Chains A and B, each alone.
Chain A
Amino acid sequence: MRNVYVLGTGMIKFGRYPEKTVPELGGDAVLTALGDAGIGMDKVEFLACGNFGQANASYAQRILQTVGQTGIPAINVANACATGSTAFREAYLSVAAGLSDIAVAVGVEQMGKQGLLGGGGGGSDPAYSPEGKLGSGLMPAVFGQAGMEHMRKYGTTLAHMAKIAVKSHKHATKNPFAQYRTEVSLEDVVNARMVAYPNTLFMCCPTGDGAAAAVLVSEEKMKQLAGGRKRARVAASVLTTDPYTARDAALPDVSTLTRTAAKQAYEAAGIGPEDLSLTELHDCFASAELVHYENLYLCKEGEAGKFIDEGGGQHPGLGGKVPVNVSGGLLSKGHPIGATGVANICEVVWHLTQDERARERQVPNAKVGLAHVIGLASACTINILTV
């Protein structure tokens, strides 16, 4: 496999764009990424587009119809919340395998005010819909209970999880690309409307619209086109699914596949968790971020609560250590499903290359960054980037 670099990135501010079409949102991110890379669509040899909610809409082709119909191979990717990061990995694989020298990954989603995802089943007669009658399969319940497993085992509290939300909302105040940039206090978070215990409103990510794109190139092309600028290398790009557990039918296991992916990614990149300058992880809920501290080996088993209490996850500029989700995370940056996985790679790349788009929240001397996404049921991606 060949070395692959991220030559350019583009992202629109996450929010709500009812007046725009999905190909316009995605095309906007693609053109920004190409502009950042200093090339045009005529140089692109492959495109992977991630979109989940309208996976049958052929947005890869419709984005090409918006920004340039050059006849290149293009694919549409749907992989739950890991949709965008899986599209990124497809573009990475195309370049790494030598099938193309320049590839684009774009993730885009227009969710509007859609909420409470999941909880399907039951066929056409609503009387047989199990949601609310046989417990809840909605995302707040699933990820709430992932946090409850930690509470049960280690005595972690709602306050620990609430502190994560305080931290990430504070981070977002420095990110102009975030959907929500309002600081909240611990009191605000704890007293906010409960959605699904232990997650209150501020501990749940919003839905919304967004797009992000990355241009991936071979080492040779990077040297030709980067013009001496520092570009990030994809040191690992891993995708896993969840192995069988006896509780599968009742509660998806969001941890094991993340741990497997983390081990594979650290090994492929030749680094350990202690080498990470920053991590963007999948905090769809504050309770999810809590368990992923341990799943990504950012702290010891059972010590996620202690990690938070001691400033873990906070930006070093705020006196913290092991920065996690300095973008504001899904909790405040937003989670337009298909865009999420590409956007968190953009964030990591911006810190590694001292890009002006991360200026206000730059992690000093960033050399290695990790981007993690998990989607039910279940796909996990981990991309590690280095400079």
Chain B
Amino acid sequence: MKNRLRVLRAEREWSQAALANHLDVSRQTVNAIENGKYDPALPLAFRIARLFGQPIEEIFDPE
């Protein structure tokens, strides 16, 4: 699954650590999602969508 997390984070000039802090997850988790190595479960996906104020399907693309 592709996602725009890195783009959205870069737009806000946040570091991975800052984003991880906002989401209450580890920096490793943010990195794995950004690299497409890990697809988050729904609760975390919703938290990400809420944080960036966008619908989930605007952030995650099942291809």
Q: Is chain B a partner of chain A in the same complex? A: no
Report A's interface with B, CB cutoff 8 A. Answer: none
Chain B interface (Cβ within 8 Å of chain A)? Answer: none
